[in-house]
Amino acid sequence: MREPERQAEKGQKEMKALGLLLLGLFIGFNSYSQHAGNHVHGRVLNAKGVGLFSARISAPEVSKSVYADTAGNFYLASESEFSYLIVTAPGYLRDSISVVGIGHQQLKVTLIEVNEIGAAKIKGDPKNAHIGRKPAKTEIITHSELKKAACCDLAGCFETQGTVKAVTTNVITNSKELRILGLSGVYNQVLTDGMPLIQGASYTYGISAMPGPAVYGIFVSKGTNSVLQGYESMVGQINVVPKFGNRSEKLLLNAFANNFGENQYNAIWGLDKKKWNNFLAVHLVNPAGERDQNKDSFTDVTRLNRFVIYNKFQTGLEKTKGLQTMLGVKLAIEKRVGGQLGYRDNTDKGSATIYGQTVNYYQPDLYGKLKWLISEQESIELVASGQYHNQESYFGPVHYKSEQKQFYANAQYNKDWSLGDNNFKGGFSFRNLEIAEDIDFTSNTLSRTYDSSYLKQETIPGIFAENIWNWRGNIFQLITGARADYHNQFGWQFTPRAMLKYEVTESAALRFSGGTGWRTVNMFAENIGLLSSSRDIVFLEVLNPEKSLNMGVNFVQNFQRGKWQGFVTTDFYQTRFQNQFFPDYDTDPTKAFIGNFTGRSVSNAYQLDVVGTYNKNVELKFAYNYLDVYRIINDQKVLLPFNSKHRLMAAVSLKSKDKKWQGDLNAHWFGKQRLPDTRLNPDAFKQESFSKSYATLNVQLTKKWKTLEVYGGVENVLDYRQTDPIVNASKPFDPYFDTSFTWGPIRGREFFLGLRYIPFRE
């Protein structure tokens, strides 16, 4: 064979071999694609076709996982082969999806909701309490968790939690505040549907004006938070979300009574239509009788009359193009009466012979939200709220009247960049607050000097911007934000904040946060207990805004071992004040000095939580809090009063296999607390420097039928009571009468019984 022919034949063989190789590779790749893949893309949706930002897509065979973006889109790639995916999202049933044979097709995954009444007809209980996926540590308390205790109003909704502590601020009218990190509740921002309604004159009684059965969920964030809602969340944020018409019972009737004679009633209606829904709640409280177990001539139980009506109307579907609206309206009317036995508010208000306290207020709220969803990545929001608060009170001979008008508006632009890798939010806000307070004395044998008219007018426009950066499938999430607000009296105030979350593994997350906060002081409205003692109030100077820097770190480890699942979380937060207001009770026992404190004031707070459930029938909780809250005065460390340095909480919840019986128990132990200095008092009125440590135990048993639930139990089973909460109780019109020494329970053991009627439950 000649050389050219030999070369041609060789070339033909090489081309044939190359063709066979390519054919083999094609067949091999096609065979591989029919059995496994190493990359897949798709979208995760709910039953309504709305993308789920909260979805996690995992390939267990190669230990890979990603999160869906804000539209539900995802892309998962691996160097190794995998044949199936596990798709999960909070509040949805887990799904397993085969990727064999899909090639380059887009995968569509639809998850079914398990905990939305009226949305998915799937039986199952929502998680009672868990940690959200936000960069800021957010504890989510669901309406199922709230049923574990006699949660009649918001102040009683934290009995099974370790983060928030409800503290009595006035023993005679039973007013409370919600503390986080051992600091006064004024440093927490309390929101309703994300809007700052509870502040100023509404602070003292506002947390009791939302009935527990009307609450869909509570979102508790520690440390600094988003700048979108304002500058006031200095140590935490509590966002109370009332139920929605499409996430509520169609009808719920609740009745509750205790052995003190107090009875409460709730009625709830939920209406869900295709394009709109409505939720209506009515709350009524009738007062208890007189009770004096410690024989100090003061009744142990405040007589409470309360009427609340709340309505929320919504149109438009979430995460669908077009206009969405929400309108909420609430009216609260309340009267609280307490004091010496035999005191009657209709004849004895302001009396100088029998001591009593009467609080009357009415408070209408109105708030709304408009959202225009331009696309899945772009929207414009406008929210606004207004509140009027009118109060008239008598604290013995002290006559206090207040009128508050407040308005808040926020215009915000939202834009998701790069398929959810960057989420920008920015806009403008405006606040207007007017508080008019009048104080006079019906008699003034103690020569007190603070009777006057006090007027506060604030106008605060602001601008803000915040960006959420998601990297590597949300393994890293960074929020950076800042706002600048102009106060009509104190000028420009700048508030920067940052939060970082790092998902160490699929089941563990590490968070860091830091930022500043500030607020102006509403002296009498937020410290109403000052008016109930014989102390004179002395103003040393004009009160400047309180300012603080908060830094924190948190670690969450989720676990699942057989039928056990749960989480362990531990965190540490430090708050440093640049300026702080706190009444000085120590210098003179007959006076409270009011001024700015610019020295060193620090709160160090450590918390450990362990939560575990077994087979969905047993739930165990444990929480430990360490609080070191102090000031440096004259080079001496001085603990702030009424803070337990050590606190423990344990809770157990048991359900029968058929879920018809449920038993709940929670126990609390409080270490000793420093009390105000009384060394200058006469011997008869001197108090100990520290309180005693004590423990409380609460139990509840619930029996469920298809449309009826009956619950009953005992609060303060051990009947622990502080024996002398009022100093000089026998002479309430003399010097040294003081109601500010409350550090423990007063009411004693309480038996209660209630029922819930839900006729249309699925």
Domain map of the chain by residue range? 1-35, 129-757
CB-count exposure of residue 121 (10 Å: 0-12, 13-18, 19+): exposed
Distances (CA, A) of 689 to 626, 627, 639: 20, 18, 11
Q: Hey, is 564 helix, strand or coil?
A: strand
What is residue 372's predicted lDDT score, i.e. its pLDDT? 93
What is residue 121's predicted lDDT score, i.e. its pLDDT? 31
Please indicate whether residue 91 or residue 337 has the higher confidence score (pLDDT).
337
What is residue 133's predicted lDDT score, i.e. its pLDDT? 65
Confidence category of residue 141, pLDDT binned at 50, 70, 90:
confident
- Give the tens place of pLDDT for each residue, 544-596: 999 999 999 999 999 888 889 899 999 999 999 999 988 888 888 888 999 99
What is residue 483's predicted lDDT score, i.e. its pLDDT? 98
Please indicate whether residue 55 or residue 689 has the higher confidence score (pLDDT).
689
Please indicate whether residue 134 or residue 735 has the higher confidence score (pLDDT).
735
The residues, any chain, with a CB within 8 Å of residue 589's CB and separated by 6 or more, are: 535, 676, 677, 678, 680, 681, 685, 736, 738
Distances (CA, A) of 320 to 274, 374, 380: 13, 9, 13
Identify whether the C-beta of residue 581 lies closer than 8 Å to the C-beta of residue 599.
Answer: no
Identify whether the C-beta of residue 141 lies closer than 8 Å to the C-beta of residue 124.
Answer: no
What is residue 15's predicted lDDT score, i.e. its pLDDT? 47
First to last CA, the chain: 89
What is residue 29's predicted lDDT score, i.e. its pLDDT? 36
Instruction: Kindly tell me if the per-residue pLDDT of 306 is higher than 90.
Output: yes
Our measurement of the distance from residue 719's CA atom to the centroid of its chain's CA atoms, rounded to an integer in Å, reads: 29
Lowest mean pLDDT among 280-284, 490-494, 555-559, 696-700: 555-559
Lowest mean pLDDT among 20-29, 286-295, 703-712: 20-29
Q: Across 17-161, where does the E strand assignment appear?
A: 37-45, 56-59, 64-67, 73-82, 84-88, 95-98, 107-110, 129-131, 138-142
For domain 129-757, give its CATH number from 2.40.110.10, 2.40.170.20, 3.40.309.10, 2.40.10.10.
2.40.170.20
Average pLDDT of the chain, as a whole number:
87
Instruction: Kindly tell me if the per-residue pLDDT of 5 is higher than 70.
Output: no
Lowest mean pLDDT among 81-85, 218-222, 334-338, 549-553: 81-85
What's the residue count for the chain?
Answer: 762
Instruction: Kindly tell me if the per-residue pLDDT of 432 is higher than 70.
Output: yes
Averaged pLDDT, 346-356: 94
